[in-house]
Amino acid sequence: MVDDVSRRGVLLAGGAALSGGIATKAGAQSAVDRGDQAGAPPVRWQALVENDDGVTRPVSVQAAEGRVRIGGFSGDDYDDTDPWQFGTDAVRGTDRGGATAYVEGQFLTQASVPAGDGGRLFLGRYTADPDADDATAEPTALRMTAEGDIEWRRAYEPPFDMFEARDLAPGADGGAVLVGFSVDIDNPNTWVVAVDAEGTIRWERRLDEHFATYAYGVQRTGDGAYLVYGGARRGSERDASRQDGWVAKVGADGEPQWSRLYRQRSAGDASDFHFIEDVAETANGYLFAGFVSPADEDATGRAWAFSTDAGGDRLYSALRRPGGDGAGEFVAVVPHGDGYVLAGSTFPTGDAEVGYAWLRGVDASLSSEWELIDPFGQPSVVTDAAATTDGGLAVVGNHLDANGWSYPIAAKLGGDPAETATPTPTETEASTPWPTLTPTPTATPRETATETATSEPTGTAPPAATTGPAPESRSATASADGPGFGIAGTLAALGGSALLARFRGGSSDEG
């Protein structure tokens, strides 16, 4: 997710800046290697989501009962956005409908998950009067009906000052579990809180076993527990030299079960910053996706994936670069067939001026099976992905143009093909108009070198790390370009060799 609108965190690291922004020739793509596409799922449909608002950002996507359900925010500008949801048929991309919940005051969406009866839960930062001199943003959850009405809204009082809400996961009995962290230098730690179906707190926990713990995400596991993941810093002094990947598992009652730190070598050197941005359950434990920022100022960031057993001990790990030599980040991991899809975006490096959607298929050992770079034929940023019930993959994000983030994009890869061509929808006041869905033909496969993931010893202890400034928000991040990854804002945040936590991008196994 934002400074004010995303579901995953951001961190600025030091190093050589990735300079430049989107040039007027934003469509230039001569340097893009589209990857080894043999075996990749075809694009079944894709569409740009057009509506009357100037700013629309999807922050999450889920699929169930043959529907793709998208949650995010929409409005005229960054300071005037409201919770927004959209749904479409998973097979054809038709039968679309959406709604916006208008909130009095300012509600800046961080995360969203489906609720019962077609409704949706949103987590964000609420300010009653943003123009007041003493305006304060409160972490707030609200429940929205399928028609766009607000059933309830609840504000919460964390145990830390300067608190940033980050993510939520569906909980027991129609409730949810919310996570976030403080950016206060005196207490930079994570707060986890479970709420019932009406938003009332059931239990809460502080996760502060390290000097700094930054929860970027939370997910419910098959045994009813919760994985909280992100980054952490050890030590008693605060500097910007190290951040480990961090995962904690808490029970259904919030009681801690285990906590682990993870590090990865990159380009032959230890990496400075580690970000974990998503997780999927596997047959043996969990598969995590994220980003690593190398210690070498001249090196670019690497996308990172690693698997663990059920107790958090590491099994396999891999660093990846789009096309073998680019920069990018994984923001989502999705079960797909007998393996998994790691979804994210490339970052502009060298002569490149824009980023593209990036998908990579891997097996259980994280060996690559196929790769798609720019499967949608246009500059774009991916914010989330999810498995569909027909064995496909739904992907959401935003198109990029010369001014930064543009229309939201939704796409379906693999799964059942549509039986008939998708008609152009009729625009009405009751539904959000979309342009005609244009299928993307499968490109000719190309040969690339085979890569092998590195198997790591179980329970490898991470080296010591010191703490540094708290991460800045990002991933549908608010900036001078408006909420979302405004390109100028993104590149500024990349400042140095840092790529932010939600869109980032080896080692001997990179490629």
pLDDT digits (tens, 9 = 90+) for 220-239: 999 999 999 999 998 765 55
Residue 32 lies inside a defined structural domain of this protein: no
Average pLDDT, the chain: 77
Q: What is the reported pLDDT for 98?
A: 87
Q: Which of 179-183, 199-203, 284-288, 471-475 has the lowest mean pLDDT?
A: 471-475
Q: What is the reported pLDDT for 405?
A: 80
The residues facing 71 across adjacent strands are 60, 85
Give the separation between CA 254 and CA 223, rounded to whole angstroms: 13
Per DSSP, 79 falls in state G
Q: What's the mean pLDDT in 205-225?
A: 96
Q: What is the reported pLDDT for 370?
A: 96
Which band of pLDDT confidence, cut at 50, 70 and 90, is reported for residue 376?
very high
Which band of pLDDT confidence, cut at 50, 70 and 90, is reported for residue 7?
very low
Res 463 pLDDT > 50: no
Res 152 pLDDT > 90: yes
Res 449 pLDDT > 80: no
Confidence (pTM) = 0.77
* CATH classification at residue 274: 2.130.10.10
Q: What is the reported pLDDT for 508?
A: 33
Q: What is the reported pLDDT for 32?
A: 45
pLDDT digits (tens, 9 = 90+) for 271-298: 688 999 999 999 999 999 999 987 665 5
Q: What is the reported pLDDT for 195?
A: 97
Residue 319 lies inside a defined structural domain of this protein: yes
Q: What is the reported pLDDT for 12?
A: 25
Res 476 pLDDT > 80: no
What tokens were used for 159? 């145990």
Q: Which of 14-23, 187-196, 226-235, 389-398 has the lowest mean pLDDT?
A: 14-23
Tell which wins on pLDDT, 324 or 87. Answer: 87
- pLDDT above 70 covers a percentage of the chain that reads 71
Res 11 pLDDT > 50: no
Q: What is the reported pLDDT for 9?
A: 30
Residue 511 lies inside a defined structural domain of this protein: no
Burial of 469 (0-12, 13-18, 19+ CB in 10 A): middle
Contact between residue 315 and residue 458 where contact means Cβ atoms under 8 Å apart: yes
Which band of pLDDT confidence, cut at 50, 70 and 90, is reported for residue 71?
very high
Tally of CA atoms within 13 A in the half-sphere of 21 that contains its CB: 16
What total number of domains does the chain contain?
1
Q: What is the reported pLDDT for 53?
A: 76
Enclosing H/E stretch for 399: strand 392-401
Q: What is the reported pLDDT for 363?
A: 96
Contact between residue 158 and residue 191 where contact means Cβ atoms under 8 Å apart: yes
In three-state form (DSSP H/G/I as H, E/B as E, the rest C), the secondary structure along 3-26 is: CCCCCCCCCCCCCCCCCCCCCCCC
Give the separation between CA 54 and CA 207, rounded to whole angstroms: 38
Q: What is the largest CA-CA distance in the chain?
A: 62
Q: What's the mean pLDDT in 157-167?
A: 93
Q: What is the reported pLDDT for 236?
A: 63
Residue 463 lies inside a defined structural domain of this protein: yes
Q: Beta-carbon neighbour count of residue 255 at 10 Å?
A: 10
Which band of pLDDT confidence, cut at 50, 70 and 90, is reported for residue 28?
very low
Q: What is the residue range of 210's domain? A: 43-493
Q: What's the mean pLDDT in 21-28?
A: 28
Cβ within 8 Å of residue 436, ≥6 positions away: 47, 422, 423, 424
Q: What is the reported pLDDT for 230?
A: 98
Residue 12 lies inside a defined structural domain of this protein: no
What tokens were used for 386? 């999810």
Residue 2 lies inside a defined structural domain of this protein: no
Q: What is the reported pLDDT for 283?
A: 94
Which band of pLDDT confidence, cut at 50, 70 and 90, is reported for residue 240?
low
Residue 416 lies inside a defined structural domain of this protein: yes
Res 45 pLDDT > 50: yes
Specify the amino acid at residue 73: F
Give the separation between CA 209 and CA 313, rounded to whole angstroms: 18
For CA atoms 472, 478, 483, 489, the dihedral sign is: negative
Report CA-CA distances (Å) from 199 to 60, 103, 120, 221: 20, 17, 13, 21
Q: What's the mean pLDDT in 382-403?
A: 93
Q: Which of 130-134, 213-217, 346-350, 447-451 has the lowest mean pLDDT?
A: 447-451
Residue 35 lies inside a defined structural domain of this protein: no
Q: What's the mean pLDDT in 12-40?
A: 42
The top-scoring range by mean pLDDT among 100-104, 199-203, 261-265, 485-489 is 199-203
